Structure formats: C-alpha cells, structure tokens
Amino acid sequence: MNNIENPTAWQRFTNLDRSPVYGFLRYGSAYKVAILLKNEKNDTIRDMREEAVPQLIKLLYDQNPGMRSRAAHMLGELMYESSISDLVRKLGDNDVRDAAISALADIGVPAVPALWSALNGPSKSKNWTVRAAAVAALGKMDDAGVIPILADAMLMDSDACVRAEAAKALGSISHVASLPLYGNPLGETAKEVRVKALLRALHDRADIVRIVAEQSLSSCANESTAYLFANALRNPNLARVWDIAGKMLIKIGESAVPVIDTLLNHPDWDVRANAAMLLGEIRSETAIPELVVALNDPHRYVRENAAQSLGKIGALAAVPNLVEALTDSKDNVRVKALDALESMVSRCSTQEHCEIMLDALNAGERFVKSCSGNKKGIDITIPVARLKCAVTEKLNEHEQMRKECEELTCERFTKMIFKAPQSFKLENCQLKRAVNG
C-alpha cells in the first residue's frame, strides 16, 4: 500500500476500508496477507511465514467473519505458538470458533496449558461455550496426555454441555499407549484414567452426559481394557455401571472370558451370578469348565445362570453335569437345567451330534442313579427319557434322509449310465456330418 503513489488509487483503497468485505484494509501492512487470504494463496503465505503471522493475528479481530475464520485456519497451518492466546480468546467468537478449535488442535501440545487454563485454571472462562470449545480442541489433538484434563472437565464442570463434550472427546482419542499424562499424580495409565472417569460419568445427573459416556465407553472396549470393566462389576451396588460394564465385556467377546472367570470366585453371590450370565452371552466354549464348577455354587441364582449359560453355549461336554443338575433341591435350577438340555437337543444338526448327545444323556443318567450322583433322591427318569426320545427321533430323521439321498444318487447314476451311449452316438453323428460337409 505504501508503494501506491497515485492519489486516486489510494482514495479508492481507503473507501473500500468502509466496506465489511474489505474491513481488513484498516490494518495497513496486513493488507498483503489479507489479499492473499482472500484469493486463497496459502502457499504464498507459508513462504512469507515470519512476516505473515503477526498480520494474521491482527486479522483475527477483523470485522469480516470470513476473514477472521481464514486467518485462524492459516495460523493453525503455520503452527506458531505466539498465536495460541489469541486463538483461545477467539473460542468465544461464534463465527470463528470452529476454525480456532482446528487451529489449536493443529498446534498441538504447546496449546495445552492455555486450553487447560481456560477450562479450570487461573483464567477459567465463565462462558460455557468457550470451555466446551477448549474441550473440543483438546479432543481433536488425539493425544493421550490430555486425558486427565478432559476427565476433570467431564466430572467437575458445572455445565452439562461441557461435561458431555468432554465425554465425547475422551471417546475420540485413539492413541493411549505411552504418552505422558498432564496432571496425573496417581501414576495411572491413560486407558485406566479414561475408562474409570467414563464409568463414573454414568451416574451424572444429566441424561446427555450419561448417553455420551456410554457411547465413548463402547469405543474403549477392547482386550486391554477388559479387566477395568470386570473390576467395575465387583461392586454390586452400582446398577447402571453393572449394566454398561457387562455390555462392554460382551462386546469384547472371548478375550474377556478369563477376567470374567475370576468373578465366579467373588464372595458376593450377585457378582458370581452376573459373571455366569455374561459368560453365556459371550458363548465361548473356553468358559465351559468354570460354568460346570458354578453348577455346584452355594447360591441358587448362580447355579441357575450357570445352567442357562451352558445351554446357550451348547456345551455337549457338560450334558452329564446338567443331567445331575436335574436333581437340584431348587425348582428353578432344575427348570433351567432341563431348558438347557432341550435347547441342546434341538440344535443337534448332524447324526454325529445326536449320537454324542445320546451317549452324554446315558452317562449322566447312570451317574445320577448311583448313590454319589443323586443325594437328594429326586427321580429324573421321566425328563431324561423325554430327552432321549427326542434325540432318537432326530437320529431316525437323519438316517431316513441319508437313505433317501443314497437312493436318489443311485437313481441319477443309473440314468446317466443309460443316457451316456445315446448322447455319445448323437454327438458322433453330428461330428461326422460336420466333417463331411
């Protein structure tokens, strides 16, 4: 602008200064950067990096919201730490907030202290939108080091929107391995801090926070966090935590079986019964030995859930134990054991499975009829006979199907033999005609 010697041209530029579209012109030397931004010449701005940053900071306060937003985006690309404080101030600007969040996330770790200060530090903002934006910027960094800051915001902030945003940010962080944690005097790992905080957030007074916390926990559910969810099940007084932690263990699947098995030895029967139920939902055969042991648990609810879970898994190896459970002193346990056996009979899809099932029923019946297997003196003849009858019917069905298949195969083979010479003669005649023309 200083190179413009024509008075008419100068007047034309100063008149433009009154327009909101060209409001950046009032900053004098910033007009070069502003024009480059206006024409999306970002590569040129990167080349004049040292000169551009102070001018971009000035443009953050321009009257034109589009210019402010572009300046914030460009500062994020240049990643200059000198712009952090100004970008944090712009978190309260509705027109620039998203651009400022992205810019602070691009700058990364150097911006953490200023964002923490806006959340819970000496210069904590009274505006909840600024605190929520600070949380969003920390979450976009994808740095496990900020997890304690986000956990504190989720558990301690007075505004539900800020707490929900913090819960969402905790779920979005994917790299939680070995990065240093800010403000974590207990020496816990990032995944421990995150999962424990989100589990505590399930008791938040605001519905939105509880919903987002559950969604974030779902993204944290994997083999490495299974023990944290299992530990959450050790307190039977936290009903909502129980429910969500159980869902996460079911989602993790077979990898969670070893940690759930440990809960079957818990002194509280509620915990043992819940563990037996979860093993059935996971449907892993690796849980069969522990569930068989649980059939002899002192509490009837544990025995019920163990029998039901064995039925869901379809544990043919546990059939003799389920037959023994038909002699349990509690009606509900006997019912669950019979239901489990019936479900396994209905799932016998091959002749081999039916034969194994029939052998297992016979072995269980023999054991129960012995003195050591039926201490309660309960007669199991009728239910076992009904089960064996159902298995025998399935065996007969499989045998009938096998015979039909053999007959059909023989019939088709015979037809092919008789048809083969005729087709061969026909093809041979057609070939001779083609050769002879």
pTM, full prediction: 0.74
Q: How confident is the model at residue 56 (pLDDT cuts 50, 70, 90)?
A: confident
Highest mean pLDDT among 60-64, 252-256, 432-436: 252-256
Q: How confident is the model at residue 408 (pLDDT cuts 50, 70, 90)?
A: low
Q: Which amino acid is at 232?
A: A
The share of the chain scoring above pLDDT 90, in percent, equals 33
Whether residue 416 is predicted with pLDDT greater than 60 in this model: the reply is no
Whether residue 169 is predicted with pLDDT greater than 90 in this model: the reply is yes
Ordered by where they begin, the domains of the chain are 219-263 (no CATH), 268-437 (1.25.10.10)
According to the 3-state scheme, what is the secondary structure of the chain? CCCCCCHHHHHHHHHHCCCHHHHHHHHHHHHHHHHHHHCCCHHHHHHCHHHHHHHHHHHCCCCCHHHHHHHHHHHHHHCCHHHHHHHHHHHHCCCCHHHHHHHHHHHCHHHHHHHHHHHHCCCCCCCHHHHHHHHHHHHHCCCHHHHHHHHHHHHHCCCHHHHHHHHHHHHHCCCCCCCCCCCCCCCCCHHHHHHHHHHHHCCCCCHHHHHHHHHHHHHHCCHHHHHHHHHHCCCCCCHHHHHHHHHHHHHHHHHHHHHHHHHCCCCCHHHHHHHHHHHHHHCCHHHHHHHHHHCCCCCHHHHHHHHHHHHHHCCHHHHHHHHHHCCCCCHHHHHHHHHHHHHHHHCCCCHHHHHHHHHHHHHHHHHHHCCCCCCCCCCCHHHHHHHHHHHHHHHHHHHHHHHHHHHHHHHHHHHHHHHHHHHHHHHHHHHHHHHHC
Query: What pLDDT, on the 0 to 100 scale, is given for residue 410?
Result: 62
Give which of 246, 245, 244, 154 is closest to 204, Cα–Cα. Answer: 154
Tally of residues, the chain: 437
Give which of 221, 184, 182 is closest to 199, Cα–Cα. Answer: 221
CA atoms of 206 and 296, how far apart (whole Å): 43
Are 304 and 358 in contact by the 8 Å Cβ rule? The answer is no
CA atoms of 246 and 234, how far apart (whole Å): 11
Average pLDDT, the chain: 78
CA atoms of 215 and 217, how far apart (whole Å): 5
Highest mean pLDDT among 12-21, 179-188, 211-220, 235-244: 211-220
Position with higher pLDDT, 36 vs 67: 67
Q: State the helix-helix crossing angle for 381-436 and 351-369, rounded to 10 degrees.
A: 170
Whether residue 236 is predicted with pLDDT greater than 90 in this model: the reply is no
Query: What pLDDT, on the 0 to 100 scale, is given for residue 429?
Result: 53
CA atoms of 374 and 327, how far apart (whole Å): 6
Mean pLDDT (whole number) for 316-325: 87
Q: How confident is the model at residue 46 (pLDDT cuts 50, 70, 90)?
A: low
Query: What pLDDT, on the 0 to 100 scale, is given for residue 214?
Result: 92
Are 181 and 147 in contact by the 8 Å Cβ rule? The answer is yes
